[in-house]
Amino acid sequence: MSLRGVTASIIGLGLIAMACQVDGQTTIAPAVEPPAQPAPTAVPQPTKVPDRGQTSAQISDAGHQLDGREIYATVGCAACHGDDAQGTDIAPALTGHSVAQVKRQARAPIGIMPVFSPDIISNEELQRLAEYIAELGGGHAHVRSGVSGDELIMHHWMAIIALESGEAQEAAHHVDHILQGAEGQHLRMMEKSRALLSEGEVHEAAHIIEQMLAGLDEAEVDQSAMHLRLALSSLRGEDLPSTIHHVEHFMESAAGDHHESAEQILEDLTYGELHEADEKLVLLLGQDTASDQHDEATGLDDAHDADEAEGAHGEADAHEADAPDEAEIHDEA
């Protein structure tokens, strides 16, 4: 540093010292007061989080088991369907629905209706709600074209059966069918399930599908019969590839006459004989879904009825042949 710079620094320090002295006393700058602390705010008390097993209906009145009408009002059904399930501008009336239909629509809805999973309404509450709606009576007010709820829920069952058998690709096939008919939250959940299947997360994908089957009556037909039903549904929906797909799956476990009938159906489909294929599917489905005992009884009854009908028809022909001609009666008169 130059001499001039040192001199300037000394002079500056002297001026500062002089400014801090008054009447020979050194003054101290007043202490800076700390900023005022804000008044303490009320700490919100934690809200009691219900157990996952509790539903909104149970929370609303934990000491009372709600009946079907009370559950209807509590879980939000009335907001869309009306206080008496009479329907509104945004949702149809619920009259004329069976218990099974209500339960299916709650878990795996058709349309934009939200999904009511078990953590919203338990299986027991869903049963009471469905019974209440079924008892309302009246005609079925909800008419919808396109994929049916029965067909859609059947694909859910088939997807689960396929996953339990380790057939992820077959399960994905059924999920793809669901995606074609689902809407709203149902569609979004199944899109997530499909993505999980593609990623190999089979357990998580199955869990989503199982939620939509919670509390529903298990499918009463086996996988072979389901394939036949879906083949018939696909045929009537003019989806020939899916029809062939399900018939081929049926053939994998079919034997004897059933296998031969399925081969004939495939041949009809190949040559465009769709009406004949439809009739054979209906016949084969009726045979396949009946129990062995029922088949035997029905076969005996049918044979007996056929013999009686043939005998009656033969007697009628003989009676007609023996009866005099009207012209002969007229001539004799």
For residue 117, is pLDDT > 50? yes
pLDDT band at residue 214 using 50, 70 and 90 as cut-offs: confident
Predicted TM-score (pTM) of the model is 0.48
For residue 83, give the nearest of 123, 136, 128 by alpha carbon. Answer: 136
Lowest mean pLDDT among 83-92, 161-170, 265-274: 83-92
CATH of domain 56-134: 1.10.760.10
Lowest mean pLDDT among 12-21, 43-52, 161-170: 43-52
pLDDT band at residue 309 using 50, 70 and 90 as cut-offs: very low
As given in the structure block, the two tokens for residue 125 are 């509450």
Who wins on pLDDT, 224 or 287?
A: 224
pLDDT band at residue 330 using 50, 70 and 90 as cut-offs: very low
Greatest alpha-carbon pair distance for the chain in Å reads: 167
User: Is the distance from CB of 45 to CB of 56 less than 8 angstroms?
Assistant: no
d(CA 298, CA 319): 30
Residue 45's region, left for phi above 0, alpha for psi from -120 to 50, else beta, is: beta
d(CA 30, CA 256): 107
